[in-house]
Structure 1
């Protein structure tokens, strides 16, 4: 069977370009006519005035359009600035929610671990762990809303004592931590005792009609200690306080099971 010869269409090496319309073509023509009239020494006043009038008309139109575009640009800029402000506010809110406890406003467990880890990398720090005594009875007797109010009251007491000296976090339902970077053990024990007294003396709103206390465990960790080690030592001291009768402060003397009750 004979082979059919096909026609080959040559491909142009140069890309096809589409002509872009000149948005100012009419203005350009008016300007050219005005230039011609200006250059023509023989042009009469009528032709010159006509060219000038046409040029003025186009110039006025351009001014109106420019003002309109500037107005739109200003509005768009204001709207963009407002949106950026809203985005920044939303970003701050999301960051706060991601790092803070929704009920109390103190740091949540993840944020405490992160900040404590950084503080311990830079130097020594004291870890205080506290737990509300008999908290389950409060929920059982008065309900969870009353329990939430007690938790909020506990945080109020902690803030009144700690202020800017340390970092307060909620790491569990009724368990909190206070991190004190670059504090001595004596300073931390004094603060822990003040926190214990503030909670014991705090008057909680109705329907809670009883005194609320908390137990404390304290550990001093040198720089380079990881969070789990520092927390475990303080937590171990906390359980010693629970076993010794609650409403007291216990301190981990060294990285071991030995603890010593604060006199």
Structure 2
């Protein structure tokens, strides 16, 4: 196998000549100067190459930092898109169910589920773009209504016109009051995206103690929602409390 080439072969030879000149007291001055000049020339070349490599390394490091920042940004975007509804920015079904289970591991949880009343008739009468605008406006009004209350609330879109709101560490009475505020926020004034038309929603509420099963909480809230619709819509109903 051939040995790897010496990248500094010429410089090493110039250094050997300079050392030999240094150690030869009988060497004429001209040869001293020639050996020194040769060594200086190679040293200057190495200095220029070193500066060029340092500049190149700095540029590549900056480029790598830019790429790293871009990768982090893209990863954050992908994480956001994986957990959020693309139309409204609310949490999606998987994320809201995951968050609910985490909350129940830490303590009690009230769950509000709601469904926009007669949403199909909105799509049929005004078209799907108007229906999308209604959904976005519903989420905005839910955000406004929940922000007026103490404690965190997490809003998720779990179906076309179906939503879930998580109210951790809120008892059933407090959750019913918040759901009523949400109902009023939606029904209280016409939607700008519809010509003077009021939109309403029906609500079901459940409460579950810590370590309870979210599936049971959702089933009870969904049953309460069904009762609200059967009772005439545009109202809030509470499900039976968990027996635990």
TM range (shorter): over 0.9
Equivalence for 1:9: none
Higher relative contact order by CA 8 Å / sep ≥ 6: 1 or 2?
2
Is 1:251–2:199 an aligned residue pair? no
Contact 1:100-1:107 at 8 Å conserved across structures: yes
Is 1:217–2:178 an aligned residue pair? no
Structure 1 residue 187: Cα displacement: 1.7
**Distance in 2, Cα, partners of 1:255 & 1:207:** 40
**Which of residues 67, 72, 82 in structure 2 aligns to 1:98?**
82
Q: CA RMSD in A?
A: 1.3
**Which of residues 99, 105, 114 in structure 2 aligns to 1:121?**
105
Contact 2:134-2:193 at 8 Å conserved across structures: no
Is 1:237–2:237 an aligned residue pair? no
TM-score, normalising length from structure 2? 0.95
**Which of residues 136, 140, 163 in structure 2 aligns to 1:152?**
136
1:1-263 aligned within 5 A? 17-163=1-147, 165-255=152-242
For structure 1, which runs of at least 5 residues remain unmatched after alignment?
Answer: 1-16, 257-263
**Distance in 1, Cα, partners of 2:8 & 2:239:** 83
**Distance in 2, Cα, partners of 1:205 & 1:107:** 24
Structure 1 residue 190: Cα displacement: 1.4
Equivalence for 1:6: none
**Distance in 2, Cα, partners of 1:132 & 1:46:** 99
Higher Cα Rg, which structure: 1
Q: Deviating runs (4+, > 3 A) in structure 1?
A: none
SS at match of 2:114: strand
Of residues 34-43 and 227-236 in structure 1, the stretch that sits farther from structure 2 once superposed is: 34-43
List per-residue Cα deviations over 1:38-62 (Å, max 9, x = no partner).
Answer: 1222222111100110000000111
Contact 2:209-2:242 at 8 Å conserved across structures: no
Q: How many residues align?
A: 240
Contact 1:241-1:248 at 8 Å conserved across structures: yes
Structure 1 residue 85: Cα displacement: 1.0
